[in-house]
Amino acid sequence: MIKNKEEITEYLSSIPPYCEKCGTMYNKDKVEVIDKNQNMTIIYIMCENCKTKNVFYVVKPMNFVSRANLIVDLDMEEIKKFAGSRKIDSNDILNVFDLLSTKKAKNSKDFLKIINSNV
């Protein structure tokens, strides 16, 4: 995670200074960098007023910015957890389907037992 205030200020100049939902100015001290490489930086900030969570992609070298069109309730720790996960592919989906078609799940607890026992 980036802690250098100058570098964070550079990214802040690339994103809107206020929440697009309620208009509240972002608290610049709450900006977090989820991931960074030579081509792109992913920035997370939550509006302190309406609690809308925003993810911005800053693409270098053009400083092109794209806001993720995701409505999520993930907090920063959950984003970090899943950001490092491998991509789910169609075989994963088929494996889950095959597994569930051979088991009987009556409720969500049964479903979780089946999934967790085969991970």
The tally of CA atoms less than 13 A away on the side-chain side of residue 27 is 10
The per-residue pLDDT for 15 is 81
Please state, in angstroms and rounded to a whole number, the distance separating the CA atoms of residues 16 and 13.
8
What mean pLDDT is predicted for residues 4-17?
A: 73
Same domain, 111 and 75: no
Same domain, 76 and 117: no
8 Å CB contact between 94 and 46: no
Same domain, 78 and 90: no
Same domain, 61 and 102: no
pLDDT in tens, 48-62: 999 888 888 887 766
Same domain, 115 and 72: no
Residue 19 has pLDDT above 80, yes or no: yes
**Number of domains the chain is built from:** 2
Residue 35 has pLDDT above 90, yes or no: no
Question: Domain span at residue 77?
Answer: 5-83
Same domain, 79 and 90: no
Same domain, 77 and 94: no
Q: Give the pTM.
A: 0.59
The answer to whether the bond into 17 is cis (omega within 30° of 0) is no
